[in-house]
Chain A
């Protein structure tokens, strides 16, 4: 038996409706893996099997060297003995309990004396800035507050694995952006392996060290956020995750990133931002264009990849990007790896979001 730290799992689940889940995951302690995929891909089934709410039909789950589920060996540890912290989609806070009662639930279930459980719960609430909400009921919380309560409730039991199922999906767009950063900070403080389940590529890119893409019950690509973004392997990833995401600092209608400056349409936004540029919004030319685009520069084509009726080009410095053109355009422009091309992007094609 291996005594490695972290999660090792091969999940096999067959459903009656012909859906099969076949997923292998390995998350070392202190690392965050995002499971990124469309609705119905099997993400929630992954959560249920790891948490112990759905037994495997095949495969094995090992956490810190301890086998949690191994149908071949007739081994199954129930959910309550797994020590896995779960932040469920929509948070699933107990509506009949107050915030502090929700948070101390895990301790009380582990036979911690009432007073000690209450003290620890209040301490944890303080750490998450939730002191004032201790006596509220979940229905009186905002989405962001509920999310932090759910996270506190999961972390107080000091689990060996942290699972977050769509932790930001229940929030409105503004709150989501604000809480992404906070959530990333909280995740970093958790010493064990962490897994974020999401359908939102931006979330996966910002929260995870490594992304597993799941489609129709199987993993279609594993890689760092850059791998996934720059070298998507399926049409789904290319469409959803293939956007260029450029972190930078915005001021007076520009975003500065490294040595480069992008012109953007929004002249009011300032501070740290994330600029998203869709590969199809990037225009490739052999000569300097004389049209209206505010952003034009020369770059070397470092890589060319074909996906059926589309071609993805990667360009080098000063701002590495992925652009998408048709095979015909590639032939017309006579572009090869190493070719020098002109890149142009209209300012209105750059989506900027506060980071």
Chain B
């Protein structure tokens, strides 16, 4: 006997059951840890936990480090993206590889590398220390450096992609209207890649906020100076589970907010 198919069935045929089951399991991988976190959240003690010294110190260090890393990434990363997108030079693909390396490198390795380069006895760190007295490791500046190292690639690849997609005729038109290269950059190029730039900055900031491995390796774990939210979570897991859960919840909320706001752009860019 033939199956009867109604016209509405025709239009939206049900996806294969196997696919649906696997997709649901895939989703579970993401959802179950969150549920675990929520199940263990001590809701009643939450206000007290969130206003404790450790939490507030970590929040302060995290805010400074993540915003500092985002600012440095903007100042250095946008020009780097521009050069990669617009200037042809030998070895450009190697430079591009170096820029995205921190995306795949284990952050601990990045932190170790930073230590060898910028530590008190490091390649750059030693002369820098002698000249200025500046010590990066185990200082809040060190946290900023570690976060910049792991987060800036997000900005560079996002902005570079946007620059490559920008029709060069807009910049040409601006030039014929008398705009010098700086004016073109400021009034045409940057505004036109504005949405991508904003997305890149937000991703950079989110990555810097979540940074753990490079920070603990390079900057250590000193409360009030280099202990960021993720480090505080790690420490609290050993001593105060409630605080660990509360801190984790804060980070989930922040990350989720950023991703939801950027969802559209993020998918389009990648």
Contacts and interface: CB of A to CB of B under 8 A. Distances in A.
A51 B179 CA distance: 13
Interface stretch (B96-104, B112-120, B167-175, B225-233): B167-175
A80 B176 CA distance: 5
A106 B176 CA distance: 8
A80 B173 contact: no
Interface stretch (A85-93, A268-276, A333-341): A85-93
B180 A92 contact: no
Contact of A109 (B169, B177, B191): B177
Interface string B148-175: 0000000000000000000101101111
Interface residues of B, number: 18
A91 to B, nearest CB: 9
A52 B176 contact: yes
A96 interface: yes
B179 A92 contact: no
A157 B177 contact: yes
A148 interface: no
A40 B241 CA distance: 70
B191 A86 contact: no
B178 interface: yes
A153 B178 CA distance: 12
Contacts of B192: 94-96
A92 B188 CA distance: 12
Interface residues of A, number: 26
A137 to B, nearest CB: 13
B257 interface: no
A53 B194 CA distance: 24
Rank and list the top 5 A-B pairs by shortest CB-CB distance, nearest first: A79-B175, A106-B177, A109-B179, A109-B178, A92-B173
27 contacts: A48-B172, A51-B172, A51-B175, A79-B172, A79-B176, A80-B176, A80-B177, A80-B178, A80-B179, A80-B180, A82-B176, A85-B176, A86-B176, A88-B172, A88-B173, A92-B169, A94-B174, A105-B174, A105-B179, A105-B187, A106-B177, A106-B178, A109-B174, A109-B178, A110-B178, A153-B177, A157-B177
